[in-house]
Each structure stands twice: as C-alpha cells, then as structure tokens.
Chains A and B, each alone.
Chain A
Amino acid sequence: MTANNRLFGILVPVISVIVGLLAGAIIMLASGHNPIEGYAALWRGAFGDSYTLGETIRRTTPLILTGLAVAFAFKTGLFNIGAEGQVIVGWLASIWVGVAVEAPMIIHLPLAVLAGAVAGGLWGFIPGLLKAKLGVHEVIITIMMNYIALHVTNEIIRSILTDQATTTEPIAATASLASTWLQSITFYSRVHYGVLIALAAAFVMWFIIERTTYGYELKAVGFNRHASNYAGMNVSRNIILSMVLGGAFAGLAGTMEGLGTYGTISVMSGFTNLGFDGIAVALLGSNNAFGVVLAAILFGALKEGAGEMPTAAGVPTELVDIIIALIIFFVASSYIIRWALLRFKKGGNIDV
C-alpha cells in the first residue's frame, strides 16, 4: 500500500492541475473566448522571453516561502491560515530597517532580512502560544491576526514611517536585494537575489523536517499529539516552534516583496493574497519542500502569465484565480480522485 500511496501522492496533484486547466478552458469557451488563444497567451506571458521569465521567477519567489510557511505548520497538524498577516508584518519590518538603519551592506541587508523573518515569526508565535497553552483553534486566531496586521501596518505607514503619506520612501541601496546583473540578463525584469533565499529556505525546511530531531518531533506531534506527549516530547513547545518557524518563512516572503521587488511599502486596501496562495501551493506540493517549489513555480507562472491574457486573448486575468481555486478543491477532495482511480483497478481498497 505504501507504493500505492506514493503513486497517489503524485497522481492526485497532477490530475487536479489537469482538471483545473480543463475547467478553465470550458469557462473560456462558455464566456465566448478561444481557450487555445487564451492558454497560448498565458504561456507567452509566463515564459515568452527572458523578461517574462524573470518576472515569473520574481513572482514565484514569495510563493515558495508562503507555501513553505503553510506546509511547515501542516506537518505539525496545524493550519496556518495567517501567512497573509505574517507576510505583511515581515514586509513592514524589513522596509522599516531598510529605511531607518544606516550601515554597510554586509550588515544592513542581513539585518533587514532578519527583521522580516523575526516579525513574521512573532506573528506566528501568538496563535502558536494560544493554541499550545489554551487550546484555541489556530485557524480563527490567524484570520483575526491577518486583519490586525493589515490595519496596524497601514497605520504605521501613515503615522510613523511617513507623515500621512501612502507610500514610504525607498529603502537604502545597502538593504536592497535587487540585482543589476540578474536584471540585465532578463531585459530589466524585477527578478532579484531573493530567489536564492527562497530556495535556501526550502532546503532548510527539508533539512529540519527530514534530518533533525526537532523535525521528527514536529511530525510526530502532527501524527498523534497524545502519543507524542506520552513519548516524552514537549508538545506545546513543538506547536509554538512550528508556528514561529512557519511565520518566519512567511515573513521572509514579505521581505522578498519589500527588499526585492518594490523597495517600499504602501498602504494596502486589501490583502496581498500571497498568504492565501501559499495555502494552495502547500496543498498542491503535498507539504513537501520540493513539491512546494514545483507548485510555486506553477502558480507563479499562472499568475504572471495571466497578465498577458486580457490584451492577447480578451480573457480576464481572474480566470487564473478560478483555476487555482478549482485545483485546491480537487486536491482537497482527493477522495474522489482516489475513488475514480481505484475503479479502474479491480479489488483495490480506498484509503482515506
């Protein structure tokens, strides 16, 4: 059955993506657009030339990190729906350090990056603490924390970082992740060195989960909290740790936007959606570091390519959001895919 489970583990996401794209094609047909033109435009918008390729990598970078943030918590049986808020506070913190501190790059840049991770970690610590000590459900707390992050960040931008302006001044060059070299080879896209941080983070997550005692304990707590407790593991510490590390990953995603892409932070009227997309990335990537990177590339390409669809094929960009939502439904309802697959194989049992 293990081999079977591994096969399903790969088939379920692949089938979900195919069905999602097919549904997208049907929606395009139904709304009077040509799906072939639509998807061709999507492909060109994501991989058409070196510029779009650079932008696709830029868009993938924070998605890797928010995907890791959600996946990390999932490993411990927690649902971090608060990646969104952690992204926002991480973004704010790294811009704050980027603007307020003066130091040579070798100190300034790591400090600004670290600030983002710490802020995100702190934003994960609160729901982690409440979950571990009081048993409060982390889903609701993190949703509420998202809104608090959004409003408080806007207030800090308006009243503390600026004098009632909507955008901060740009960060010092010594805190920037921007890379003239990467930009010059991608026809001046906004791709930046942050992608290396994201890939390193994926490696770190893999290493922690698969190669350390901490990782073993985190997974054990995810499988069975009570057994882990009986085995002498400190369950509440592990819950808090997992939320803090997840939050730090999400905070770094905000840092990517702040120090890499924009160099500023603006008052936001709504969420960045990076955190919510991270849920989709983590689910599609089966909560596995390598899978998360692949899923982030897929969603990064879909989101970047969507920009080309209205002009080239008249298809609104929101089609991609619909496709992503449907992919989540299919992955979440993997029971139906397993059931369908098993109908083809006689005598198989359905393992939920």
Chain B
Amino acid sequence: MTEWRPPFALVGAWLGLLALLALTVTLAYAPLGAANAVVALGIGTIKAMLVAAIFMELRHRSGLTLIFAGAGLFWLGILLWLGSMDFLTRT
C-alpha cells in the first residue's frame, strides 16, 4: 500500500481540468459577443468528456456500459432540449 502513487492519467486529467477552468474564466472576459456562450459550452463539453473517460473510467468499459452511459447523456439532452424549447418560444 505504501508504494501506491496516484496514476499519471488521473493527475494529468486533473491538471487538464484546472487548465480548462482557467481558460473558461479568461475567455469569459474576452469580448467575443455571442461566441462567448459557444466557447464556454465547448470547453464544458471537453471537461465533461475528460471526467467521463478518465475519472469514470468509461474508456476501459464494455459496450453495454457505454450504452447506458450514453443513454443517460441522451436523456439529459432531451431534458435540456425540450425544456429550453419552451423557454425559447415563450411569448
């Protein structure tokens, strides 16, 4: 047990997330207009994928697990899509 060191992948992913966080914060102040939201969401997606692939260890998993993980994401997408459709079309 005393020999244990955190796997490189975990530490790397963590540092990567911190770097992306710094990037998000910085870019939030950059005057990009409507692109600000797009950039923030894009970086958010990359972060989520890092978490799923490395912390949730989905990169080593079988097809079935991936299907269930994907389904969860898909249903989250539906919630956001239909929910925001109401919001965007309110008069």
Instruction: Judge: A and B partners, yes or no.
Output: no
- Residues on A facing B (Cβ under 8 Å): none
